[in-house]
Each structure stands twice: as C-alpha cells, then as structure tokens.
Structure 1
Amino acid sequence: MAGRKDRSDALNTAIDRMTKKTRDLRRQLRKAVMDHVSDSFLETNVPLLVLIEAAKNGNEKEVKEYAQVFREHANKLIEVANLACSISNNEEGVKLVRMAASQLETLCPQVINAALALAAKPNSKVAQDNMDLFKMQWEKQVRVLTDAVDDITSIDDFLCVSENHILEDVNKCVIALQEKDVDGLDRTAGAIRGRAARVVHVVTSEMDNYEPGVYTEKVLEATKLLTNTVMPRFTEQVEAAVEALSANPTQPVDENEFIDASRLVYDGVRDIRKAVLMIRTPDELDDSDFEREGDFDGHSRTSAIMAQLPQEQKAKIAEQVASFQEEKSKLDAEVSKWDDSGNDIIVLAKQMCMIMMEMTDFTRGKGPLKNTSDVIGAAKKIAEAGSRMDKLGRTSFRYDAGIYQMWVRAMALGVLCGPKTLPDQAARTHSASTFSQDSEDCRGEGSRSLEED
C-alpha cells in the first residue's frame, strides 16, 4: 500500500508540474505574440511618409526602393494581425481583424501605384490629390486594424511587454549617451516616445469600456502624469543631450539628469500598468504580473529570513495568514456577485483584496513588497480604503442587503490590518533581520498612524 501511495503521489506531482509548465508555455506564447504586436504597430506611418516624400521629389528609383519597404511593412502588419487571431477566443473580434487585414492588403498596391504616378508627375495637382486621398485611406485603415487587434489581445500582456521594451530602450538611451552616439540616442528616444504614446492610447481606449469612477480616475490620472509631465521632461533632456553632443562631442553631458528623466518614463509606464491591474482578481493575474527577474535576490532573501524563524513564530504567522485568507475569500465571494463598473464600493473592495494578496505574498518572499515601509504602507492603504468604504457603505447598505454583506466582509479585512497582526509582525521580523533602525522608526510611525486611524 505504501508503494502504491508513493507512486500515486509521484504521479500527482508530475501532473501538477506538467500543468504548471503548460500554463507557463501558454503565457509565454501569448506574450511572444504581444511582443510582435508591440513592435509592429509602432510608428506605423513612417514607411508611408518616406514613400510619399520620395514621390514628391520625383525620384522614381527611390520610390521603387521605398515601395518594397512599404510592402514589407504592410505584410508584417497583416502577418502579426493574423498571429494575434490565432491565440484569441474572441470570434467576432477575430472576424473584424481578418476583414481589416484583408482591406489593408488590397489597399497596399494602390498606395504604391499612387506614389509611382506622383513620382512620374510630381507637379501634377491631380497626382498630388490622388496621393493625399490614398494616404488618408491607408492611415484610417491602419487605425482600424490597430484598434481591432487591440480588442482581441490582452491589455495586461500588452502593458507587460511594453514596460519591458521601454526598460530596454531606456538602458539603450543611457548607453548611447555615455558612448556619445547621437544617432542611436535620438532613434531610441523616438522609440520610447512612440511606445509611451501607444501605451496611453491603448489604456485610454480601454477605460472607455468602464463607467467613470475611482478605478478609471486612478488609471487616467497615471496616463495624464506620463503624458503631461514625464514625457515633456524626457523630451527636453533628449533634445539637450543631442544638441550638446552635436555641438561638441568632447563636452561632458549631465548624465544624472538624463538618467532621472529616463527612469521616470519607465516608472510612469509601470504605474499605469499597476493602476490597470488594480481591479484584477488573483485568478486573473499571472505570476509575472508583479514580479521581475531582477527582483529575484530580494525575494530569495525574504524567503530565507522567513525560513529561519522559530517554529512558534512561523505557526503564529501561518495562523494569521489563514485568518487573512479566510476573510479575503469571504470578501472575494461577495465581490464576485457584483459588476464593478461604476460602483466605487466594489472597486474599493477589489483594491483591498489585491493589497491583501501582496501582503500575504510578502511572508512567502514573493510579490512587490520588499521591506518594512512597503508592508506598513500596504496596511495603511487597506485602512484608508476601509475608511472610504465605511463612509460609502453606511449610505448604500441601507438600501441594499447584498452591499451590506460585502461591506461587513471588507470591514473585517480592514480590522485584521491593525498593528498587532500579520503586516506588523512580518515587518518587525524582516526589519530585525535586514534593515536599519531608520526602517524600524518608519515602522513605528506607520503603526501609530494606523492606530490613530
């Protein structure tokens, strides 16, 4: 019997491992496709503009060369669009994508013919008007295809891939600055601006699917910060660096200002992604939605610290984690009954669930929380969300028993975030093992503020 049980356990372990590998493979495939989408649907008008410029100059040889580039670009858009269709379950959306791709394919040779006609007679008003007409039709059709592809792909995957690309491009920018590579700096900075603008466009369009409320306000606030504050500063730093290097390559450039401006772009995109993920349930989130390979050492260190705790403390923390999870599960059950669109109470409840997940992940050495301040800050966020929900709930539950039940669960979760529960103990343990007295002081202040709340 023991041998049979061992074989059964081994089989179950193998099945679990295979299931995880399959899920990981599916996620990687999805993100690989999104990687193509992110790159191909960036600065989609450049090949067309270059083609038209050559045609206006009457250079037929260049027009033929750029026509080939334009054709390859169009084929790439169509290929990537069909690739996106292959991993989508949205049948209606897939039909729209295929239709838009087909129309783009038909339009491509017509645009090239219009460019050739203009190159042959660059001073002809008829040829110029004809080129303008096809330019307008092409740009419109590309927008239709882009929006259709966005509708059948996951915005979470898009933001994850875009964030990674922007991080790579930011690093390339800094290296180009250090190596005094003006062309590389200007080109990479242009790609960053294009990716940031695309992120803002996709996210803003996504928010149109939601009723205005706390969630949409947070997301749109993050997009406005990136557009109105972060990107202008980044552009200013790039222009200053390009101008300085072009005028005198030997003259030193203030790298610190440039690096700070570049980092803010990455932080801005990451903040947008975090805001978008705010209402996702744990089941909707991938393991990689908050974790990064670069954070591995921090996670490993936290895991090691937790592993070294005395059994008594481990048991106490495990008991408190169980209490948190129990209340969170009850709140999840209540939240799942409601549509979050336009309902601030539901949005706040989901926020509390999300933060709670991060706090429990901290005890396992996972998640975005890395130190004492992060844990205290997370506990305070739950307390603040609970306070806001309390005010909203006291009016809403008079009229709706369902909202009352959810309000009760959320308040129970908020109470568990008091200073004598898991977050504070985990923070104390982590602080004692790895952080300085400054962190301990921060923890104390955070606890006092929670008690006052």
Structure 2
Amino acid sequence: MEIKTKSIEQTLIPLVTQITTLVNAKEKPIKSEKTLRAIVRVGQAVNLAVERFVSVGESIADNNPEIKIDMYQACKDSRAAGTLIEQLCEIQRGDVGQARQCADKNGMVRAARSLLSSVTKVLILADTVVLKHLLSAKDRVSISLNRLENVANFTEFVKAFSQFGTEMVELAHLSGDRQNDLKDERRRAQMAAARQILERSTMMLLTSSKACLRHPECETARENRDTVFLQMRRAMDLIHFVVKDGVIPDLAASSKGTTEPRKNSGTCSKHSKKSSIAEWRLEDLNQCLTVHNAIKKFEDIVEMTRMTLVGPAYRDQLTSALDTVVERTQDFTDSAYTSNEHREKILLLCDRAKLELNQLLRIGVGLDQAGSISPSEDLEASILQTLRASKDLKQQLQDTALDHADELFKITDEAEFMSQLKNAAIAGDHDRLEEFAEKFSEHAEHIQEVCKLIHHVANTESLQVTSKNLDYCLKVYGIQVLNASHTLCMHQTSKIAKENLDVFMEVWQSLVNDVASISSEIAELCRGKLPEKPVYMSLPRPGRHGTTSKPLKPAKLDMEEQAKIAKLGLEMKLLTSEMDAETEKYSSADSNDIVFRARNMSQMAFSMYQFTRGEGDLKTTQDLFTQAEFFAEEANKLYKLIRHFSYQVPSGQHKKELLDYLDKVPTFVQQLQFTVKNPTVGKAATFTKVDNVIQETKNLMNIISKVVTTCLVCATEFNLDFRGSSTSRSRNTSPYRNELEDYTFNDELNNTVEMPTKEGGTSVSDPNI
C-alpha cells in the first residue's frame, strides 16, 4: 500500500519504533529478568493501543457504509495481529528458572508485518472519508457556481454569492489541510495552484458578474464573466485530480483536445470548457516537457553508459534524448527577445554536445567490436566530456532565461501600462484605447515569453507546476484586461465597469509580480542557495476534529517589520476614527445594534493598528490572526443587520448607494477569511501574511465605514428606527474530521520501557517519538 500523506506516515512511526524494538529483542538471548518483564509490558502496550485504535476505526465504519465492510475486516486483522504480538512477548520459565522466549524472531516479524499492514489499511480507509468531505465541499461550490451563472437580477445574485462565499471558505480550509498533508511535491504544487486560482477569481467573479448584469448587451463584459467561471471550474477539476490522484471526471471525451488556449478563451461554450480542461491534463498534470527535465534525462542515460558500455540498445536512446534537448532549446533560440549573443552561444553548445556524444558513441562501437566487458579510460573521459558539455548548455539556458527576466523588470513600468488603458477607457476614446491595447498586448506577450523560458529552467517539480500555471493565467487574463477596458470605454460612466477593470488589473499585476518572484527563486536555486525548506509537523491538532496542518508557533515582529506595516496600520486607524466620529452622534448605542457592532469593529481594528506599533493587547502574530477572524465574523453579523434595515429605506439614490456598498461586504469578508486561513511556514512567510491580513482588514474596514455612514444618513433622512437583534452565523464545519489522525499510539507506547542495548545495559524509549 502506498502512503501518500504525511499524517498517516507519522502516525505509524511510534508503532514501528516499538515493534522494531521487539523484533530486535528476539535476536539475542535474554538473561535479565527485568528485560523480560519489559518485553511483556511492551507487548501488552501494543495490544492495548491497537485495541483502542480499532475501536475508533469501527465507529468510523458505522458512520460510513461505503467503507464499512473493508474497515471491519482491517480492524479484525489489526486486533488479531496485536493479540498475537502480546502472546509472542509472553515468557515461560524452565525447570531451572531459565527464561526462554515463546516464539522465535521469524514469528515476531510475521506478526509485525501483519499488524502494520492492517493498521495502515485502517488509516487509508479513514482517509478516504476525509477525501469524501473535501470532494463534497468542492461539489457544493460547483453547484453554487451554477446558481451564480444563472441568476437574473442583482437580488438573486447577492443571495447566491453570499452562499457561495460560505462554501468557498470551507473548501479553502479543507483543501489547505490536504495540500499541507500531501507527501508528493508535485501534487502539493498542483493543489496550491488550484487554490490560488479560486482565491483570485472570487473578486473577479463578483465584479464581472455585476458588470454583466448591469450591461447584459455588452459582449466583452460577458467574456470577462465567462472566463472567470471557466477558470474556477478548471481549478476545481484540478482539486479533484489531486484528491483522486490522477482522475478528472468527464474528461475522456476531451482528452484529445487542443493544447493551446483559444484567443477568446472567455467564451463559455462546451468546446472551450473541454479544451481548457484537456490542456491542463495533458501539459500540466502528467509531465513537464521542459529543457531542464530533458537535460536531466539525457545526463542520466550518459551516466548509465559506465555499465551499459554504450551497447547497441542504448545508442538510439542517447541520440533521441539529445535530440529532445536540442528541440526544446528552440524556444530560446526562436524567441524574438533572445539576444544574438545568447542565441549563438546556445547553438554552439548544442553542436558541442552533439560532437561529444558522437565521440562517446564511437568509443562504444569500438568496445562492442572488441568484446570488452569493462569500461575503458577513453570511455570514462568521453562520459565526463559529454556531461560537461551538457552542464554548460544547461547553465547557458539558465543565464538566458534569467537575463530575460532581469531586463524585463528593469525597463518595464507596469503601472504605466495600466494607467494608459484605464484613462483611455474612462475618457471613452476608442482610438487611444486601441493604440494602448496594442502596446499592452506586445508587453503581455513579452511577459509570457519570459515566463515560458523561466518554466523551462525551473529545477524543482513545485516550480515547474507553478510556472506552467502562471504561464496559462497570463495568456488568459491579458486578454481579459483588454476586455474589461473595452467594457468601461463603452460605458465610461459606469462605476461597476470601472470597479471590474480595477479588479482585473490588480490580478494582472499579481501575476506579473509572481513571474518576478519565481524568477528570483529559480535564480537562487541555480546559484546553489537553497530556500528555507518548510518543516511539516505531523498530526497537529488543537483538539478532536482539528485540522491536519499544525498551527504556527506564535511569533513577534521586530521593529523593522513593524515599521513596514505601520503605514497600513495608520490608514486603518484613520478609518476607525472616521467611523467613531459618525457613531458618536448616537448616544444610545447600547440600544442600537448597528451602532454597537460598528463600534465593536472599530475597537477591534484599533487593537490591530496598535499591533503594528508594537503596542496594545495583541502581542503575537497568532493574536493578530485570531482578532482578524473575529473581525470578519462581526462584519458578517453587521452585514445581516444592515441588510434587514435596508428593507425600510425608501427607493431612491440613498438606498441605491447603501446597497451598492453593502453588496461588497461579503466579498471583503471572504478575502480576509481566505488570508487568515492561508497556512504559512517560516518567518518571511509569516510577515507577508501579517501584511496581507492588515491590508484585507483595512479594505473591509473601509467598506464597513461607508456602509455604516450611509446607513446612519438614511436613518436620519427618513427618520427610521434601526434597532434590531443581532444574529450570528455558525461556522460551516465538516461533520467528520479524521478521528484516526487524532488518535496517536504514543498514548500507550511512550511510557518508559527499559530494553537491552548492545553493551548489555538498558535504554529508554523516546517519549517524544
């Protein structure tokens, strides 16, 4: 059985440790009475631990009929193996008091194998229940997407989007747990890519849907919206692929789809959906056809020639492997952005690699004709020369890609492109917009080219998956930025169209920043600087039904880090001051739920501002994240109160303004919840998360301030009573979290047990295993 998660692997460690101790104890005669008693106690502890373990497994089976039969059988096998181990650990005494073992080492080994196999099967079956809940959460999001896609008016949309947001938070939580728990680097990167698409798509889904509802006749607005839906479905297909380890539903019909995105990839037709999913599967999921991987394969075959002596069966493999390398270097040499100097060096190094390989093949033919059965000095020298040529080619390709990236980000001002497009669209100047759109398209093509070359030299599976996904997103959203610009140009007075363009531009800027970040990371790896490696701590659970990702150790920010986020904190402080000034006009705050909750949120935001100054009650980053969660929950409660109040407001400009602001609250709440729940490892990542949490809190505080102010204006203008009862929303949690992952064999096995050492003394089992 293949163990694919870290939690299952780590759950087995204490059991393996103790069983190994018992097996080793059978290898040598046991002379000490104390050691014999220790062996008996270990056998009893193992059996007791197994008994408690399988009782949990059987309770899971009772609640999940689809695994009941297999789970009961695995539990039965585990119980039998545990009992056998206890019996093997018992002792008999001879007539002269000489203790001897009940069974030999082979019996213990067989029992141990049986126990580990059956316990592992129990864990894997329990893990399928966790996966079922993850897939159920994904299916609920899919249903919500279908509902959102078919809404006919704003009222239906707001209601559907609120439900969608709740389900997305749960999916983000469960998929994040799974991402952290996966052992396979490639699968973890694929899950991370899917989750990032969903997170970035949420705001685009809101604005593009609103633009489409407000301007139903606008084709570019519809393409914006359809593209977002397509990307989100594509991301959920990828989650399904990772969870099922290689299966995407309903993909057979599209497995031969095109591998190039269509020009108007936003069109949400059946053909475009199938093409998108097929592309993901063929290029991103199964393998990465990069020059780095091609060179690695070629070098592996060359290394093998020390044993194969370049026999006839391997000569074609060597030639074919080098041809693949040369073919993939054409993305570098054919690029319009590659300098002549780099292009000539690459071509020369390819020729050199061919010459060295031909020399190696000639030596192999000579050895074959001579009937040699061992490598010669000439063969070893030729192998080294071929590998050196390959290494030099790889280094040149890395230099070319990284130089491309450096030059691009030195000369490019992304903000200028965005500003030109936006200004032309707002002015309604179609001619200028077309001119700037052409420039932006050339610029976007340049970024895509750099991303493609960076992908070719990425030297880890994680970076390869990330860069490939980034390349695809750049192709999709470059077009959609222009579509959003054209929508605004046709409706230059539309606030919704302007907001939609802002959001698509923000996503584009994030993608460009990702290209810069990933090129920097690859540069460090190519120079031999290994980035900080995340350390996974297995089975971290604050309690029953906890998550599979260990909570970060609370950290304090130093003065320099606090200074970097002080600006955001100050901006948030100004917002709280504005809202305090508005609510102070109402002295009867205790009897006014809206004012009461607004002040409550203001106080929370102020404490987060104090954190950025190193002051107040929030001392660690974990304190900040917890406060942000409460802040988001309070915003949800306030949203419901004001939504109820809005029904009293007469139709007109005031009500329209109130609803326009209010409709944005669920999205900002969701963005903050996404940010807070995003797992991070390492000080740099934690600081980035703090910065993002402060930013998202400020954004939410900003819209809450506008909502409350408008609400108070409406109450004064129309003399409305807006007292009401507060409501709370219970958290939508999965009905089942893997109880067997909560179970640990340490409870029974980590008691101190003395066992014999090689020196004849005693050792103590590590209670921390």
Kindly name which structure, 1 or 2, has the bigger radius of gyration based on alpha carbons.
2
The question of a shared fold, defined as TM-score above 0.5 by the shorter chain, is answered with no
Higher relative contact order (CA closer than 8 Å, sequence separation 6+)? 2
TM-score by length of 1: 0.37
Structure (1/2) with the larger helix percentage: 1
